[in-house]
């Protein structure tokens, strides 16, 4: 018997309709639907945006055939869902012809940069590694501004990531294949509170 608290809040189709309406009327939030639950994340601020710009530049220089997209994803798992990563690394034309929500088949890496809000712990550190691992996304990069650390999750097994490697800002970290990029995280110290 399924517990009441384990049931989805809504169906994925209902979420799509809600997200379309919210996009037209609400400009300060982004909606997600992960693990059967509706989530709201704030639109990123300046430091958050600067981190994505920094990463975008590194990715283009190291792997010019790839692009760090702003693409919503349909994520798998036992309830399905929709996530809006801060960055989605894939080939430059990977999402041509896709709508607001694309599958994860072409995704090499997803990136999340923590926000300074009350849900970031549950959302970015717990739910998203699980959801992206279930969906088979090869690499999940979490830039954690609260702890001043970078966490790299890899080797998804369809349930979770088998490998997680965390380094403090200032260290170098290698993003495993299929990404194959080395990040010097020293500049991240400049864009945190």
Ordered per-residue pLDDT tens for the chain, 193 residues: 445 556 667 777 777 777 766 655 555 556 666 667 666 655 555 688 899 999 999 999 999 999 999 999 998 764 568 888 999 999 999 999 998 899 999 999 999 998 876 666 677 788 888 889 999 999 999 999 989 999 999 999 988 999 999 999 999 999 999 999 999 999 999 988 7
Q: What is d(CA 163, CA 61) in angstroms, rounded to the nearest whole number?
A: 26
Look at residue 78 in the predicted model and tell me its pLDDT. Answer: 47
Look at residue 14 in the predicted model and tell me its pLDDT. Answer: 74
Look at residue 169 in the predicted model and tell me its pLDDT. Answer: 97
Look at residue 126 in the predicted model and tell me its pLDDT. Answer: 80
C-alpha dist (Å) from residue 69 to 36, 53, 108, 116:
25, 11, 11, 23
Look at residue 23 in the predicted model and tell me its pLDDT. Answer: 57
Look at residue 5 in the predicted model and tell me its pLDDT. Answer: 52
The per-type count for the chain, helices as H runs and strands as E runs, is: 4, 13
CATH homologous superfamily, domain 45-191: tt1808, chain A (3.90.1570.10)
Which class for 140: exposed (0-12), middle (13-18), buried (19 or more C-beta within 10 A)? buried
CB 144 within 8 A of CB 174: no
Look at residue 32 in the predicted model and tell me its pLDDT. Answer: 60
Look at residue 133 in the predicted model and tell me its pLDDT. Answer: 92
């Amino acid at each position: 018997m399924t517990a009441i608290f384990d049931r989805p809040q809504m169906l994925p189709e209902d979420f799509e309709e809600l997200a379309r309406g919210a996009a037209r009327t609400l400009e300060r939030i982004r909606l997600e639907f992960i693990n059967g639950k509706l989530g709201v994340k704030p639109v990123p601020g300046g430091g958050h945006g600067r981190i994505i710009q920094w990463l975008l530049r590194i990715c283009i220089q190291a792997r010019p055939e790839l692009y760090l997209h702003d693409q919503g994803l349909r994520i798998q798992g036992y309830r399905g869902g929709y996530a809006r990563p801060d960055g989605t690394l894939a080939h430059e034309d990977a999402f041509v012809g896709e709508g607001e929500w694309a599958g994860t088949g072409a995704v090499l890496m997803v990136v999340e940069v923590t926000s300074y809000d009350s849900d970031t712990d549950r959302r970015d550190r717990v739910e998203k590694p699980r959801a992206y691992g279930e969906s088979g996304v090869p690499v999940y990069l979490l830039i954690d501004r609260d702890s001043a650390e970078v966490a790299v999750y890899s080797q998804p097994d369809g349930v979770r990531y088998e490998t997680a490697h965390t380094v403090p800002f200032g260290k170098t970290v290698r993003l495993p294949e299929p990404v194959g990029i080395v990040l010097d995280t020293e500049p991240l110290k400049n864009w945190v509170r």
